[in-house]
């Protein structure tokens, strides 16, 4: 690789963080390392919020501050500006979940339109993003996933909302990403995303859909969609992630007595992810890719293949991204190596981004090595700064 990436460079990784921010991050990851504490904490917070205890300030000062950009779109601006100084782009994500009425879905479409407009005006916001269930009921996606040509009044309303979002993105030439959620609603969500691509990805990659490679059938799906896009003459936007709903997927499969769709082991998920990375770089004529991962090996593999196929990390069809508050060593060192890299920054009212925060807490507790790695890098940078100050004061 010509454009070298060194994930152990903590000076670059944490340049944007003050000493007190490093200290707070270390404290948070030390707490997250304790599985029992995270489990008790999640239970307590949900119970306390349900009975109206004033715990929002506690969430806001800890996990929310670390993993989110703010409550409103505007309140994320200082963070977006700060990222720009280091060549990192932003993706602002209104991460409200669990809404269920048409009124809320229609309001969310307006918010997503606002996000697209905001992104199109800011040169440092790379993508707008939305979750399928922020504009339609999971049950409707599920029903439509089970039956080809399914139709119902509420599913037709979902289709209209997708169309409004696609048309707004197209009119403003603003790329958008569509998140992936539970496997049992994904077939319908995939088809809706694919239909938008068919219409709007004719000469460039404007719409990206998400492929969760922890699903054992996802490489086949990715292959199928790529070949269909190639045949029909448009581009496929593919965000590759491992997937964030593993426990929920396994629990449902067990409870309902079907074989879990998740790969049996982490190694199998890793192998599938890496095969998907290889696949998309073998189809650069059709696929634009967003590598959404905190995995250093997968990132390096994709970076190597990008150099091989595009001779640069700075190509409009190759993006890398991490979640706000995670794996700064990848984000900032990739930016330093000239890659197109973005932080996905969730925002929204504290209570409503809670499911997202719980997933992050659980993920950081359950991923073997992830929290340990965050901690050791934070400690390394704190020691480096201490040594630098001592030398300066001599």
Ligand X SMILES: Cc1cc2nc3c(=O)[nH]c(=O)nc-3n(C[C@H](O)[C@H](O)[C@H](O)COP(=O)(O)OP(=O)(O)OC[C@H]3O[C@@H](n4cnc5c(N)ncnc54)[C@H](O)[C@@H]3O)c2cc1C
Strand partners, 40: none
CB of 151 to ligand X, least distance (A): 26
Q: Of 254 and 384, which CB lies nearer to ligand X in the complex structure?
A: 254
| Binding segment toward ligand X, per CB under 6 A, in 148-156, 292-300, 328-336, 382-390 | 292-300
Instruction: Tell me which stretch binds ligand X (CB under 6 A): 8-16, 107-115, 291-299, 350-358.
Output: 291-299
Query: Does 132 sit near ligand X (CB under 6 A)?
Result: no
Q: Which is nearer to ligand X, 11 or 217 (CB)?
A: 217
Q: Examine residue 13 and tell whether it contacts ligand X (CB under 6 A).
A: no
Residues 46, 361 contacting (CB under 8 angstroms): no
| 211 touches 162 (CB < 8 A) | no
| 322 forms part of the interface with ligand X (CB under 6 A) | yes
With CB under 6 A as the rule, give the number of residues binding ligand X: 27
**Two structure tokens written together for 190:** 């995939």
Does the protein bind ligand X through residue 180 (CB under 6 A)? Answer: yes
Residue 293 as a binder of ligand X (CB under 6 A): the answer is: yes
Of all helices (H) and strands (E), which one includes residue 91? strand 89-94
- For residue 108, state whether it binds ligand X (rule: CB under 6 A): no
Find the part of the chain contacting ligand X (CB under 6 A) among 82-90, 116-124, 239-247, 346-354.
239-247
Looking at residue 312, the DSSP 8-state letter turns out to be S
Q: Per CB under 6 A, does 161 bind ligand X?
A: no
User: Would you give the binding string for ligand X spanning residues 246-285, x where CB under 6 A is met?
Assistant: x---------------xx-xx--x----------------
**282-311 b/e (C-beta count within 10 Å ≥ 16 → b):** ebbebbbbbbbbbbbebbebbbebbbeeee
Does position 212 interact with ligand X (CB under 6 A)? The reply is yes
In sequence order, which residues have a C-beta less than 8 Å from that of residue 193 and are 6 or more positions away?
162, 178, 207, 209
What tokens appear for 393 in the block? 């004061």
Query: Residue 182: helix, strand or coil by DSSP?
Result: coil
Task: Indicate whether 179 belongs to the interface with ligand X (CB under 6 A).
Answer: yes
Residue environment code for 146-161, b if the CB has 16+ CB neighbours within 10 A, otherwise e: eeeeeeeeebebbeeb
Confirm if 277 and 240 have CB atoms less than 8 A apart: yes
Task: Kindly state the greatest CA–CA separation across the chain.
Answer: 75
Among the residue ranges 59-67, 163-171, 186-194, 318-326, the one whose residues contact ligand X (CB under 6 A): 318-326
- Part in contact with ligand X (CB under 6 A); list of ranges 57-65, 107-115, 226-234, 286-294: 286-294
Residue whose token pair is 């199928």: 224
The reply on whether position 245 binds ligand X by CB under 6 A is yes
> What does the binding site for ligand X look like in residue numbers (CB under 6 A)?
179-180, 210, 212, 214, 241-246, 262-263, 265-266, 269, 292-295, 321-323, 344, 363, 367, 370
């Amino acid at each position: 690789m010509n454009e070298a990436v060194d994930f152990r460079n903590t000076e670059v990784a944490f340049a944007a963080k003050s000493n007190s921010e490093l200290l707070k991050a270390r404290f948070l990851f030390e707490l997250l390392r304790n599985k029992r504490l995270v489990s008790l904490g999640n239970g307590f917070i949900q119970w306390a919020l349900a009975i109206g205890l004033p715990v929002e300030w506690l969430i806001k000062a800890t996990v929310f501050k670390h993993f989110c950009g703010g409550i409103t779109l505007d309140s994320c601006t200082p963070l977006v500006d700060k990222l720009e100084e280091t060549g990192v782009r932003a993706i602002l994500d209104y991460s409200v979940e669990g809404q269920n009425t048409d009124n809320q879905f229609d309001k969310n479409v307006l918010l997503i339109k606002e996000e697209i407009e905001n992104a199109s005006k800011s040169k440092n916001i790379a993508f707008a993003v939305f979750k399928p269930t922020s504009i339609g009921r999971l049950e409707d996606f599920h029903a439509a996933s089970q039956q080809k040509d399914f139709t119902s009044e509420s599913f037709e309303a979902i289709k209209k909302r997708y169309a409004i979002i696609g048309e707004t993105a197209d009119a403003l030439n603003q790329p958008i990403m569509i998140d992936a959620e539970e496997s049992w609603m994904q077939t319908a969500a995939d088809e809706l995303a694919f239909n938008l691509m068919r219409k709007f990805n004719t000469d460039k990659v404007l719409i990206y859909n998400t492929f969760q490679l922890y699903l054992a059938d996802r490489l086949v799906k990715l292959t199928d969609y790529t070949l269909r896009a190639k045949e029909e003459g448009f581009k496929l936007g593919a965000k590759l992630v491992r997937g964030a709903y593993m426990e929920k997927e396994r629990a449902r499969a067990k409870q309902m007595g079907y074989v879990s769709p998740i790969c049996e082991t982490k190694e199998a998920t890793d192998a599938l992810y890496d095969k998907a990375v290889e696949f998309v770089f073998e189809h650069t004529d059709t696929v634009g890719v967003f590598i959404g991962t905190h995995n250093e090996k997968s990132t390096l593999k994709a970076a190597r293949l990008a150099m091989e196929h595009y001779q640069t990390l700075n190509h409009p069809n190759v993006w890398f991204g991490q979640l706000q508050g995670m794996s700064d060593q990848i984000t900032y060192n990739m930016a330093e190596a000239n890659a197109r890299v973005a932080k996905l920054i969730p925002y929204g009212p504290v209570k409503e981004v809670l499911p997202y925060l719980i997933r992050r807490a659980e993920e950081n507790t359950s991923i073997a090595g992830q929290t340990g790695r965050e901690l050791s890098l934070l400690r390394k940078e704190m020691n480096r700064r201490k040594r630098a100050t001592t030398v300066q004061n001599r």
